[in-house]
Copies of this chain bind each other. A is one copy, B any other.
Amino acid sequence: MFEQLGLIGCGLMGGSFALAMKRAGLVKRVVGYSKSPSTTERARQMGVIDVEAPSALLAVSGADVVLLAVPVAATEATFKAIRHLVTNSMLIMDVGSTKREVVDAARRVLRDHIGSFVPAHPITGKELSGVEHADPDLYHGKQVILTPIEKTQTAHLKRAQALWEGLGCHVQQMAPDSHDAAFAAVSHLPHLLAFALIHAIDGQAHGKDFLGLAGPGFRDFTRIAASDPKVWRDILLSNRVELVEQAKMFQRSLMNMLHLAETGAGEKLEEMIAQASQVRAQWHMGRKK
């Protein structure tokens, strides 16, 4: 389907994408670039990429599909680094967890070539980062959100959809702003809560002892707290407006429940728990309700 993938960022997301594309027979050759030369070399040694590019620009040269798998804060600089070789026939995508900032950067930098860019957010990940954890199954069966804008070329949008479906993904489209509100609620705020909980416990006199007593509920609840700090700093900063909105709504629910517990209002407290419990019990990943 594609001749050459230009991969910018050979970490967990980028490396897994390259492996999945190759396994699915969707690309013949992968030219990769990472900011750290040792990562690029490692990726080539592992067979994740075929050729090391000495710059982001040269990774794009000759590619018919380009994936930016860099932290969202690095997106604009990456667009700038590659724009002189971007063509209208080239499909360019990213994998960023926030979309409004990415789309704004693309508008500013790519200008006349903005139609080549199809913003993408595959909903997957691991709490372990780096090319060492690259996994051809990372995308399989997962959802991918595409957030096209009015200038996105329909042909590229269709190729992008076919590509992700070829990797076993369920694809849907949303506006960038709706995407960011939704993921502030179901991903960015939960990460922030998990970070804050660990922080609060670790900062206590007996915090280390407390952690030694924690069980499987805690293990699952805090799994995302082990996520990559740079990636998550960027996501939280990039989506701060929606994050703060979601945090306010969360605080209202939390304060309400705490107040019910403090005042011994068991009946009303049980009602709120029962509602949450029912919603969560009926939820299944990837199913729209």
Contact = CB atoms under 8 A, between A and B. Distances in A.
Interface stretch (A27-35, A41-49, A56-64, A218-226): A218-226
A254 B192 contact: yes
B270 A213 contact: no
Contacts of A236: 257, 261, 269, 273
A200 B246 contact: yes
Contacts of A232: 273, 277
Interface stretch (A16-24, A99-107, A153-161, A237-245): A237-245
A109 interface: no
Interface string A194-226: 111111111110111111111111111111111
A183 B145 CA distance: 39
Copies per assembly: 2
Q: How large is the interface on A (under 10, 10 to 19, 20 to 34, 35 or more residues)?
A: 35 or more
Contacts of A77: none
Interface string A266-287: 1001101111110111010111
A163 to B, nearest CB: 20
A214 B283 contact: yes
Closest 7 CB pairs of A and B: A212-B288, A186-B214, A229-B274, A123-B215, A233-B270, A196-B254, A198-B276
Interface of A: 73, 123-125, 127, 142-143, 145, 178, 181-183, 185-187, 189-204, 206-230, 232-234, 236-237, 240, 243-244, 246-247, 249-250, 252-254, 256-258, 261-262, 264, 266, 269-270, 272-277, 279-281, 283, 285-289
22 contacts: A123-B214, A124-B216, A142-B215, A143-B215, A181-B206, A182-B210, A185-B204, A187-B214, A187-B215, A190-B218, A193-B221, A195-B257, A196-B276, A203-B253, A208-B289, A220-B223, A221-B221, A227-B273, A233-B273, A236-B261, A237-B266, A240-B264
